[in-house]
Amino acid sequence: MAFSMFLRTSGCQSRMFTQQAMRLATQPAITQRMISSSLPVRNIMKDTKTTPILNAIRSFRTSCVRRSAEKVEDHSRLWVIERVVSAALVPLIPLALMMPNKLFDSLLAILITAHSFWGMEAMVVEYIRVLLFGHVIPKIMMLLVYFLTATMLGGLFYLNFNDIGVSRAFWRIWKNMKSKNAK
């Protein structure tokens, strides 16, 4: 049962795994290794002609680990940038609301858009997985995230440079809500 579940995972259904398994299954050295199992362990490990399975499995395991190790460093930098943006929004929002100007409004638009993009991207990656929805729907959802992010940034910049700005728009909405509640 567990072995059949293991074989159903995406890693076992990949082309590389299938090619590796076929190569191992068709090698004549497997029978040689079984016959020469009475050799000392040191000689088996040193002789690459009699141990193609061990070498293939070793290279198969570490190749993925090496590739993922390179990506970890990039993601750790992105994680730090995400946290810096979140921390920068804490003082920037009150500052932009107290002193509305184009610089604070533009900075606020960029940081809010980046923060929203990373949040929506994380939701799509986490909840709309390839294993559950196939290959097409996650790509469509990521395109939707990109579209929403570009539309949001464009709308906020339009509000900043062609209208009253993000901070003044917030105060105008606040006054309208306050006057409606007073009636």
In this prediction the pTM is 0.58
Taking alpha carbons only, the member of 31, 21, 24, 94 closest to residue 53 is 24
Q: Is 146 assigned to a binding site?
A: no
Which CATH number does the domain housing residue 94 bear? 1.20.1300.10
Place of tokens 């190749």: 63
Distance CA 81, CA 73 (A): 13
Decide if 7 is inside a domain: yes
Judgement on whether residues 43 and 77 belong to the same structural domain of the protein: no
Domain match, 156 and 95 both:
yes
Tell me if 104 sits within 8 A of 167, measured CB to CB. Answer: yes
Please give the pLDDT value at position 66. 52
Q: Which residue type does 23 have? A: R
What is residue 182's predicted lDDT score, i.e. its pLDDT?
Answer: 81
Q: Which domain range does residue 87 map to?
A: 72-182
- Per-residue confidence of the chain (183 residues) as pLDDT tens digits? 455 555 566 655 667 766 776 666 566 554 455 445 555 555 544 554 555 554 454 444 444 555 555 555 567 889 999 999 999 999 999 999 999 999 999 999 999 999 999 999 999 999 999 999 999 999 999 999 999 999 999 999 999 999 999 999 999 999 999 888 887
Q: Do 81 and 44 fall into the same domain?
A: no
- Total structural domains within the chain: 2
Is 10 inside a domain boundary? yes
Same domain, 177 and 146: yes
Residues 76 and 40 placed together within one structural domain of the fold: no
Residues 93 and 132 in one domain: yes
Q: Is residue 96 part of a domain?
A: yes
Pairwise CA distance, residues 40 & 131, whole Å: 45
Q: What is the pLDDT of residue 8?
A: 60
In a domain, 60, yes or no: no
The answer to the question of residue 56 being in a domain is no
Residues 166 and 79 in one domain: yes
